[in-house]
Amino acid sequence: MRRAINIVPGSGTRILLAFLPFLLIACLYVVASAERQAANPGDKLLPPIAQMATSVSRLASEPDRRSGNLTLWSDTAASLRRLAMGLGAAASIGLVLGLALGLLPMASAGLSPLVAVVSMIPPMAILPVLFIVFGLGELSKVVLIVIGITPFLVRDLAMTVAAIPREQMVKAQTLGASTWQIMLRVALPQTMPRLIEALRLSLGPAFLFLISAEAIAAESGLGYRIFLVRRYLAMDVILPYVAWITLLAYLFDWLLARIARRGFPWAYGQEAR
Amino acid sequence: MRFGNGKFGIRALSAAALGLLCSLSILADRAQAEPKKEFNIAWTIYVGWMPWPYAADAGIVKKWADKYGITINVKQINDYVESINQYTAGSFDGVTATNMDGLTIPAAGGVDTTILIVGDFSNGNDGIVSKTAKTAAELKGQTINLVELSVSHYLLARALDSVGLAEKDVTIVNTSDADIVAAFKSPETSTVVTWNPLLAEVNAEPGSVPLFDSTKIPGEIIDTLMVNTEVLSDNPDFGKAIAGIWYETMSVLMDPGEKGKTARAAMGSMSGTDLAGFDAQLAATKLFSTPQEAVAFTESEDLVKTMDLVRTFSFDHGLLGDGAADKDVVGIAFPGERVLGSADNVKLRFDARYMRLAAEGSL
């Protein structure tokens, strides 16, 4: 008896199956777009693929009439700079606090409740306060990303450190290690792969906070462009930008996964087949 | 069992995909236009548009709709741009919007739109406020927060123009209208451009100086009710009912006695302020209280000049679409067969016929 749970796709079928949903969505889009174009040749809601391609090549290769920049690249550079600063700051704070909270009972007693409470504050709700405190410049956008994802990183890393078997700590102490040495030589290496995994999981929220901050006040950036052209429903710009953001996020995720496996192969021993 | 060649799977999947595609494309095929009985109008909070929700609450909408045997739903949308986008996408038959947004969003998007009611123009409701500059000329080199590509942006362009500056002389930071007041409180923000009731909030900040406002460009920022031209030509009764509702509401609003006060207080509370606050906003608005005034304004030569300024600004900022070779690409029609731009692609129409019917009392 052939059961559905036992039908395993071959490698060719697997690739085909992977492409099929994408193909289906693309077909659906083309059909729906063609229909709207037939009803109204000026329709902006579902622009034809060719029109999006024209817009993208214009944004990527023609200098902007007002600023003289190549829009797509200057937007991407501005957003990536903010994202890198936000993720970098969040990762550093997360690592330091995570190690301290996970390893030092005194630090944990003093800070864990605060981190737990702060992590529950929706960052978007305190945005007006952030603006007044940090201004409307680059700082507030980076701070929004940091506030958005640091509490998650801290809690996740603290838990990772706390879950390190007690025996390792005892052994290190009997060998004469100080707290500082235990932190650097026992806890830190075991936390690093988890930090990268946590960063991967934070990419989505980080992009969300980036786009939100840029939507509110900015002069360049991927989110800025989307919210600017939204004013006149230029979906021929918005849809390619969304695809571009998705691609960037996917690439970062892939890159982080590679770094983790290259840098800490021991942590992925079970994956090897 | 391993399923190696995958032929069976591919065939079944292709069939399923095709079926799904067909059923979805049928769904996408919208019902074509036919004589309608029910119409939807979207409005957003702004002093010049508050008569719409008031008219709905007070039963004026129902009274006129019943007279023509139709139903008119007046719905609030929280976000102004979203309301125009929804209208452009076809979810509404009419929307409250300014002349510039009507040109750049629905008309530039190929949705033939008729400006049925010219309600008022901003006469101080839009303004530039600064903490550092004392005159418009001092804006040179400043960073200015505003909702980019909106009437605020247009107002700034006109202000800079009036003192011989250009947009490249300032840095513009796109700032959401929801955050403009908080932005102005930030020490590093020096200048904002916004509209009421936000303008009043910003002006109330200590040390703020009003530099320029819409009284300097009277008649250029026009608040209207615009409707889908196709829907209107298929259903002239819809236009008549709208004109009837508007001018009956205007007569209540302008009533000098208790009746007018109650109505204005109601409109004030619906927009988050009170009678005094609403009256203050009204004072910065040139409301066309009678259809005669609105018709005269719509038929005047000045409106053509205004729309030429607006379309020039819109084209310069890429708001008429990427395919736009020049500012003539979208035609704008005025009463008396006058057309600005392409006569073959008229997508925005100022139509005084229904306001005229109201003026003649023949609704």
What pLDDT shows up at residue A125?
A: 86
Cβ of residue A125 closer than 8 Å to a chain B Cβ: no
Mark whether B27 and B47 lie in a shared domain. no
Same-domain check for residues B318 and B209:
no
| Separation in Å, CA of A203 to nearest CA in chain B | 25
Residue A42's pLDDT is: 76
Catalogue all structural domains in chain A, each as residue range(s) with its CATH number.
Answer: 72-272 (1.10.3720.10)
Cβ distance of A10 and B3 shorter than 8 Å = yes
Dihedral over Cα of B205, B211, B216, B221: its sign: negative
* Furthest C-alpha separation in chain A: 80
Domain that holds residue B15: 1-31
Residue among A20, A41, A131 minimizing CB distance to B183: A131
- Cβ contact, residue pair B173, A136, below 8 Å: yes
The answer to whether B114 and B102 are in contact (CB under 8 A) is: no
Interchain CB contact of B28 with A (< 8 Å): yes
pLDDT at B13: 53
A 163-222 near B (Cβ less than 8 A): 215-219
Q: What is the pLDDT of residue A45?
A: 83
Q: Are residues B348 and B244 in the same domain?
A: yes
Regarding whether B306 and B232 lie in a shared domain, the answer is: yes
Which of A136, A215, A231 is closest, CB to CB, to B149? A231
Tens of pLDDT, residue by residue over A138-176, are 898 999 999 999 999 999 999 999 999 999 999 999 999
Contacting residues of A for B5, CB less than 8 Å apart: 10
Same domain, residue pair B143 and B224: no
Structural domain ending residue among the three candidates B216, B241, B261: B216
Q: Number of structural domains, chain B?
A: 3
Q: What local confidence, expressed as pLDDT, does residue B3 receive?
A: 41
pLDDT attached to residue B20? 54
**Same domain, yes or no, for B98 and B133?**
no
A134 vs B301 pLDDT, higher one: B301
Q: Do B109 and A31 touch (CB under 8 A)?
A: no
Q: Using one digit for the tens of pLDDT, what is the confidence trace for A20-52?
A: 999 999 999 999 999 988 888 878 888 999 989
Residues B229 and B171 in one domain: no
Interface probe with A: pick from B32, B86, B186, most Cβ of A within 10 Å:
B186
Q: What local confidence, expressed as pLDDT, does residue B16 receive?
A: 55
Same domain, B346 and B232: yes
Chain B positions touching A23 (Cβ under 8 A) are 17
> How far, in Å, CA of B275 to CA of B272, rounded?
10
pLDDT tens digits along A165-211 = 999 999 999 999 999 999 999 999 999 999 999 999 999 999 999 99
Who among B105, B174, B183 is closest to A219 (CB)?
A: B174
Closest partner CB to A131 (pick from B1, B182, B317): B182
pLDDT of residue A231 exceeding 60:
yes
| Closest residue in chain B to residue A45, using alpha carbons only | B89
B230 and B332: one domain?
Answer: yes
Name the A residues in 216-255 with CB < 8 Å from any B CB. 216-219, 224, 227-228, 230-234, 236
**Residues A7, B1: C-beta atoms closer than 8 Å:** yes
pLDDT the model gives residue A146? 94
CATH number, domain at B56?
3.40.190.10
A135 pLDDT above the threshold of 90: no
Cross-chain CB nearest to B1 (options A2, A55, A136): A2
Contacts of A54 in chain B (CB under 8 A): 322
Q: How far is CA B96 from CA A64, B83, B105, B200, in A?
A: 32, 8, 13, 22
B1: which chain A residues are within 8 Å (Cβ-Cβ)? Answer: 2, 6-7
Is residue B86 within 8 A of residue B77, CB to CB? The reply is: yes
Together in a domain, B114 and B51: yes
pTM of the model: 0.80
pLDDT of residue B30: 44
CB spacing of A228 vs B150 below 8 angstroms: no
pLDDT score of A137 more than 90: no
B333 with B235, same domain: the answer is: yes
**Which of B200, B216, B232 is the last residue before a domain boundary?**
B216
Give buried/exposed letters for B297-308 (b at 16+ CB in 10 A, else e). Answer: bbbeeebeebbe
The residue out of B216, B242, B267 marking a domain boundary is B216
* Chain B residue nearest residue A124, CA to CA: B179
Q: Please, which pLDDT band fits residue A232 given cuts at 50, 70 and 90?
A: confident
The residue of chain A nearest to residue B145, with distances taken between CA atoms, is A217
Chain B residue closest in CA terms to A24:
B17
**Closest CA of chain A from B336, distance in Å:** 26
Q: What is the pLDDT of residue A270?
A: 78
Is the CB of residue B232 less than 8 Å from the CB of residue B238? yes
> How far is A70 from chain B, CA to nearest CA, in Å?
15
- Does A216 contact B176 at a Cβ distance shorter than 8 Å? yes
Cα of A201 to nearest chain B Cα, Å: 29
A221: closest chain B residue by CA = B174
Tokens found for residue A69: 């920049």
Q: Does B257 touch chain A (CB under 8 A)?
A: no
Rounded Cα gap, residues B200 and A73, in angstroms: 39
| CB-CB contact of A73 with A58 (8 Å) | no
Mind spelling out the 3-state secondary structure of chain A? CCCHHHCEECHHHHHHHHHHHHHHHHHHHHHHHHHHHHHCCCCCCCCCHHHHHHHHHHHHHCECCCCCCEHHHHHHHHHHHHHHHHHHHHHHHHHHHHHHHHHCHHHHHHHHHHHHHHCCCCHHHHHHHHHHHHCCCHHHHHHHHHHHHHHHHHHHHHHHHHCCCHHHHHHHHHCCCCHHHHHHHHHHHHHHHHHHHHHHHHHHHHHHHHHHHHHHEECCCHHHHHHHHHHHCCHHHHHHHHHHHHHHHHHHHHHHHHHHHHHCHHHHHHHCC
- Indicate yes or no: CB of B186 within 8 angstroms of CB of A6: no
A7 contact residues in B (CB cutoff 8 A): 1, 3, 9
pLDDT of chain B along its 363 residues, tens only? 344 444 445 555 555 555 555 455 444 444 445 578 999 999 999 999 999 999 999 999 999 999 999 999 999 998 888 899 999 988 999 999 999 999 999 999 889 999 999 999 999 999 999 999 999 999 999 999 999 989 999 999 999 999 999 988 999 999 888 888 888 988 889 999 999 888 988 999 888 999 999 999 999 999 999 999 999 999 999 999 999 999 999 999 999 999 999 999 999 999 888 999 999 999 999 999 999 999 999 999 999 999 999 999 999 888 887 667 889 999 999 999 899 999 999 999 999 999 999 999 988
What pLDDT is stored for residue B2 in this prediction? 43
ipTM of model: 0.72
**Nearest CA distance, B352 vs chain A (angstrom):** 26
B338 and B246 within one domain: yes
Q: Which residues of A fall within a CB distance of 8 Å from B168?
A: 66
B2–A contact, CB cutoff 8 A: yes
Q: With an 8 Å Cβ cutoff, are B110 and A44 in contact? A: yes
What pLDDT is stored for residue B278 in this prediction?
A: 92
pLDDT, position B27: 47
What angle, 0 to 180 degrees and rounded to 10, lies between the N-to-C axes of helices A71-103 and A188-216? 140
Residue B220 has phi, psi (to 5 degrees) of -95, -30
